[in-house]
Amino acid sequence: MVKEWDVLPDFEPGHITLPSIPKFQYQGRLEDELSGRLSPQEAFFLLELMLTVRAVEEQIAELRDGAFKPTPDFQFIGATHLSVGQEAVAVGGISAVRPDDYITSTHRGHGHSLSKVAFAIRRMKRQDLLAFLAAPDDGASDEDLRERAMQHHLFRTWAELFGKEEGYCRGRGGSMHIAEFALGHLGANAIVGGSIGIGTGAAMASQWLGTDKAVLCIFGDGAVTEGIFHESCCLSTMGHLKQGPPVIYLVENNQYSMTGQTRGETTSLDYLAQQAAAYNSKALNAEVVNGMDVLAVRDAVLRTVEKCRAGQGPVLLECMTYRFYGHSLSDSRTRYRSRTEEESWRGLDPIKRYGEQLVRARLATEQSIEDMRQQIVERVRQAAVAAAKATDPDPARIADGLFAETTSDDIGPEWKTINFVRQPRKATRDSEGRILFRHAIAEALMEEMIRDRRVLLFGEDVADYGGAFQVTAGLFEIFGRERVFNTCMAEAAIVGAATGMAMVGMRPVCEIMYIDFLLLAADQLFNQAAKSRYMFGAKATVPIVVRTTVGGGKGYAGQHSQSLEAVCAHFPGLKVVAPSTAYDAKGLLKASIRDDNPVVFIEHQLLYTDRGVVPEDDYIVPLGQAAVRREGKDLTIIGYSKMVQVAMGAAELLESRDGVSAEVVDIRTLCPLDLDTLVKSAEKTGRVIALSQAPRTGCFAEHIAYELQERLFDKLKAPIRIAAAYDVPPPMAQSLERENIPDAEKVARIAAQILSQ
């Protein structure tokens, strides 16, 4: 296929004109909104919810300093990042999106969480309210049910903040990681900017699935200088996208990243929205909004969310606001900001000023507002008392929810691909039924993309070119750019977007060219994809596959030859797969794509041209099952990926030269690790060598050695030995690289030493 566009030279002199970014355009009043865009009941609810958000956070402050104790022996632990003063952004922004739209949030996210669920409750039908309450229909009125639902919402919020089983995330996430996937809240995030990639991916998936759902991706001013913000903006404005993803990047600019002041200190910009001009000709439809005015925020989101639904996203809204407290309650804030500044912003208190508008519009009186405030404070207090008495999670169930036990094996024909750009074709087998390892990978991808059209493939150079190692060649021609597409160079955003896509119903496969480059995506893989399910109380399902390669032996040196699989294995929640044969490459990749957990799938570059018998029929190789590649009785050699070939070579050497019978075990998946097979083999032979291409210190072979020695110490005939690389970065020089990577001869020498003991 010929690319759809050409890049031709054009050196005509001229100037680049950057688009103008409007600021503070909304000058409306409540009376104007009441003429059509806002009912009196909705107007009043905006104040009620802002008061609720503030009451919760002020009680957190009282809990922290001991002024309020819900039970006599109560001890408050956990994070205390308050958004007092910022209520207009959370309430105004979320009031303008639909209940089925998505939000992502921040470590300062109590207002976002409270608002997302509260607005959903307000719009629920009777059966939805009963389901939310998990209660039978007792004949109560809808309004009574809504009141009970709101109280239940407050209870579950407090329960999460207190680390209780009844909390939104079963106490696993706490204040900084609260989520409610059933109502479109994809999670608060303790990593600054951590959810921007996720929000971007959720919007891309929404567009692909045709659900008409938008994403309100909320983050603070500090996140705008994080790499994930830049990468996500680049990803969401890629030129080949037919429409812009329906995502609103909402910057909650409270003027301070932590103690560093955004304007005049940590940036040279008057407004962070100015950065939007870098990303597309529309400057992300950016606006600067008065974040102290709930109606201004609501207006901006109402207008721009419709742009997003019409395919004109993404949008950047910078809401100028202020936090009345410090970064956390341990921060007195007096060392880095003046009283004059603080008093000026407090004079714009969004709750007070909006309350005055309600009074002027004759929807309330000062006394009725005060009465409502006191009622809300009491309601919030009662919920906190109930939550303090809730259930502490059982330590015996500490691992609950780490992995999903489900797969997409039984999806049926609903998602089957019907239309193709070009008809699919299997790889050509030789006379023995063999194909190349890389063709086995491509065939697995093709079969799963046919079976399930929610499977997408994307990454750097994977489309027309077929990937750096030609592994994905031909898939673009079959499925087109909608299913197989290149991304900008943005490893963090690639993995983050895949995570967001998976959370809302897709099954993405993304490629990171070298495992060395995974370190650029470390936060999105290790802090987001790996932890989301557990951290959010087993509500998140994240079926992504991150395909990557390891090298060594090609002279690529220290930044293209590392073996970082043990780093991936260190993060609970990830499955890590490393096939050694073409048959396993296909079967394990198909199993990984169907698995409902994030999988890091590691392909060794030196295996790509190996041949193996690979059936054309549909099959999978289950994750978590090792394979005995060679039976033996004197010694066990354990490896994975390319090291299995080294182990087999060593076993043959030992047998031909010394008459030693070595058993070779291919673990195939590092996580989950099939210890039963390893223990059985080690128990039989009494001697073990574990192989790794990584540096010896901290390599996965060390973990294998520990696990076996813990279980079999009294049955081993000699200490377990490790054959691994030196503790140096991979060298380029051929003589050094050969010395660094274990080979059959080195393993055989270690075996001779073990056998002599």
Distance CA 157, CA 154 (A): 5
DSSP state of 547: E
For the residues 668-696, what does the mean pLDDT come to? 98
Distance CA 161, CA 405 (A): 27
Ordered domains of the chain (ranges, CATH): 30-390 (3.40.50.970), 434-613 (3.40.50.970), 627-755 (3.40.50.920)
pLDDT of 3 above 80: no
pLDDT of 397 above 90: yes
pLDDT of 76 above 90: no
pLDDT on residue 1: 58
- Name, in order, each residue with C-beta under 8 angstroms of 651's C-beta and a sequence gap of 6 or more: 630, 632, 637, 662, 663, 664
Distance CA 595, CA 576 (A): 12
Q: What is the dihedral of CA 57, 61, 67, 72, to 10 degrees?
A: 80
C-alpha Rg value of the chain to the nearest Å: 29
- Residue pLDDT, tens place only, 410-436: 998 999 999 999 999 999 999 999 999
pLDDT of 441 above 90: yes
Instruction: Average the pLDDT over each of 90-99, 270-279, 332-341 and give the range with the smallest value.
Output: 332-341
Written as six digits, the tokens of 399 are 């691992």
pLDDT on residue 529: 98
For the residues 592-610, what does the mean pLDDT come to? 98
Distance CA 271, CA 340 (A): 21
- Residue pLDDT, tens place only, 523-565: 999 999 999 999 999 999 999 999 999 988 888 988 999 999 9
For the residues 255-270, what does the mean pLDDT come to? 91
pLDDT of 214 above 90: yes
- Residue pLDDT, tens place only, 300-354: 999 999 999 999 999 999 999 999 998 988 888 888 999 999 999 999 999 999 9
> Rounded to an integer, what is the distance from CA 659 to the centroid of its chain?
52
Q: For residue 722, what are the β-bridge partners?
A: 690
pLDDT on residue 568: 98
Distance CA 83, CA 328 (A): 10
- Residue pLDDT, tens place only, 125-177: 999 999 999 999 999 999 999 999 999 999 999 999 999 999 999 999 999 99
Instruction: Average the pLDDT over each of 216-220, 326-330, 416-420, 570-574 and give the range with the smallest value.
Output: 326-330
- Residue pLDDT, tens place only, 607-631: 999 999 999 999 999 999 999 999 9
The angle subtended at Cα 155 by Cα 153 and Cα 158, nearest 5°, is: 110
pLDDT on residue 642: 98
**Residue 2: which pLDDT band, with cuts at 50, 70 and 90?**
low
pLDDT on residue 4: 78
Q: For residue 666, what are the β-bridge partners?
A: 627, 639
Distance CA 116, CA 183 (A): 8
The per-residue pLDDT of the chain, averaged, comes to 96
- Residue pLDDT, tens place only, 152-166: 999 999 999 999 999
For the residues 379-403, what does the mean pLDDT come to? 96
Residues labelled as active-site residues: 560
Q: Distance of CA 238 to CAs 351, 485, 507, 570, Å? A: 40, 11, 21, 33
- Name, in order, each residue with C-beta under 8 angstroms of 177's C-beta and a sequence gap of 6 or more: 169, 187, 188, 189, 190, 535, 536
pLDDT of 735 above 90: yes
**Residue 711: which pLDDT band, with cuts at 50, 70 and 90?**
very high
With tokens 């688009």, the residue in question is 19
- 695 upstream amide cis, omega within 30 of 0: no
With tokens 């330590």, the residue in question is 395
Distance CA 481, CA 488 (A): 14
Give exposure, 398-433, as e/b (b: 16+ Cβ within 10 Å).
eeebebbeebbeeeeeeeebeeeeeebeebeeeeee
pLDDT on residue 188: 96
Distance CA 245, CA 208 (A): 9
Distance CA 148, CA 403 (A): 33
Instruction: Please tell me which residue, 259 or 116, carries the higher pLDDT value.
Output: 116
